[in-house]
Amino acid sequence: MTRVAVATTSAIAADAAREVADAGGNAVDCALATALMSMNTEPGVCALAGGAYVTVWAPGHDPVTFDGNHAVPGLGLPDDERGKGKVPVRIDYGGGISTIVGPGSVAIPGALAAVDRAWRRFGSLPWSELFRPTIEVVRSGFPLPAACRYYLGYSGDLIFNRSSDGYAALHDEHGRLYERGSSIRVPHLADSLAAIANDGAAVFYEGELAEAISSHVRKGGGALTRDDLASYEALERPALVADVDDWHIATNPPPAIGGAVLTAMLLACGDLHASDWDSTSLDKLIRVQRACLDFRRHRLDKADDVHGEATALIRTARQGQLLSQWSSSSTVHASAVDDSGIGCAVTASSGYGSGEMPDGTGLWLNNGLGEIELNRRDVDSRTPGERLPSNMAPTVARSEDSVMAIGSPGADRITTAIHQVLVNLLQFGMPLAEAIAHPRIHVDTTGEADCLRAEPGLDMPESDLPLHAFPDINMYFGGVSVAAFSRGLGFDVAADARREGGIFVSDA
């Protein structure tokens, strides 16, 4: 039997991997089952009716990424029926976030299509086996994770009270938001998952669930049509590959933005070979983050040709010219490897959530059109079916005798978190658990003025950026999970203490 290791964002998601591995599943089966559990048991943080990317690198195959990201709806609608049903809100989460919710914020959801296509290409178990652990947990009730309760404390009343079933799932009989660890039962969700498990993804995109989702959104003024759902396809793309020393690192390619930014950071820091982050190394890290994130803000985020701009960013980093030319959430993740050498990384997001749940489905809908910091171009000017920007960067790395899957939730901190852990592992030679636990920095470019955010314990260099020092490690800096396998050393797996992580390794 194939042995598998998984690192992810919750203990019950890791338990799903255990069940699927015991049934004979490979790394792809386990990663997909783990992601399905996370998507359906982390309310507010993620949901099945969102977007996802799946990166797979199997022996004898080139690395690929399955693109199931949110897409622009409105197929067949006249222009004057688009752009309606939007509700602007501002929540205090993360220092203050403006976003758009309601029916008009709902994009075409592609997460399930990506899961389906990755399973058809690389899975080994029956489709229904991927869903069995999640259906059982959702039907009996699951504990509300701390990260979800923290986010819902800000967004519960403003966003997630917009539907009767959604409100009932998150509030007790007195109308109080459930506390961390409370048992959550989402009405009708288990039945919807059972229908998908029995009849395939088509029931979500073309069947009764598609009708319920589209009808709910259209009645509220949103643009998501039955044609949008029926015509959606997850796309298989060659992964974006960068070399760091003896490792080949494959990540999410354009038109997603996260993978290109991560690749540029890796290339620009390729000459770091210290033993730790001293002030000199941190100074270079800060300058690299500023350069990459500044390039992203001014060129990638508003680009008509994302491929061309991403190519320019990576080419400049390869040539060592990045620093001379440019000087200035909500996601879940699963990483899995097996002893046959397959690596699979899955990252999924539903944005901040639209707050919409069609009656009788148990499915929270995304607000992919409402993520203002990602959609810096007017989404209503985009063509229906066009993929939206994304920070997600599920990554698989391979050397001569090892394979590693890595990724993180964390909005615009996804790339900076993954980058720092990879440098810790591949260039500084830290043990896996230490590489993940090590303090991080992040250059924040989302406010009116850039600032530097840092966890304690670092030898910070002088910088012209205002410093916001956190008192302890914090989920703001992501939640990296890594699963690795080496023919000589076996499995190594770790999940980030910044999130309620979970790990699983098959018995020998």
SS3 of residue 247 by DSSP: strand
**Greater confidence, 305 or 39?**
39
Structure tokens that stand for 326 in this block = 């440019």
Query: Does the structure show a pLDDT above 50 at 494?
Result: yes
The number of C-alpha atoms within 13 Å of 215 and in the hemisphere containing its C-beta is 11
Place of tokens 């790339």: 415
- The residues, any chain, with a CB within 8 Å of residue 356's CB and separated by 6 or more, are 101, 102, 103, 106, 162, 163, 166, 216, 217, 220, 364, 365
pLDDT digits (tens, 9 = 90+) for 461-471: 999 999 999 99
Query: Does the structure show a pLDDT above 90 at 71?
Result: yes
Q: What is the 3-state secondary structure (H, E, C) of 157-211?
A: CCCCCCCHHHHHHHECCCCCECCCCCEECCCCHHHHHHHHHHHCCHHHHCCHHHH
What CATH number belongs to 237-332+392-487? 3.60.20
- For the segment 32-43, the average pLDDT, to the nearest whole number, is 96
Q: Residue 376: what pLDDT? A: 59
- For the segment 321-344, the average pLDDT, to the nearest whole number, is 77
* Type of residue at 36: L
* Type of residue at 254: P
- For the segment 258-283, the average pLDDT, to the nearest whole number, is 89
Residues of the chain above pLDDT 70, percent = 95
Query: Does the structure show a pLDDT above 50 at 395?
Result: yes
Q: Residue 95: what pLDDT? A: 65
Question: Is the pTM of the predicted complex or chain greater than 0.75?
Answer: yes
The domain locations on the chain are: 237-332+392-487
Q: Residue 327: what pLDDT? A: 36
The answer to whether residues 219 and 103 touch, using CB atoms and an 8 Å cutoff, is: yes
Query: Does the structure show a pLDDT above 80 at 377?
Result: no
Out of 227-231, 352-356, 370-374, 404-408, least confident range: 370-374
Largest CA distance in the chain: 62
pLDDT digits (tens, 9 = 90+) for 285-326: 999 999 888 888 878 877 778 888 888 888 888 877 766 543
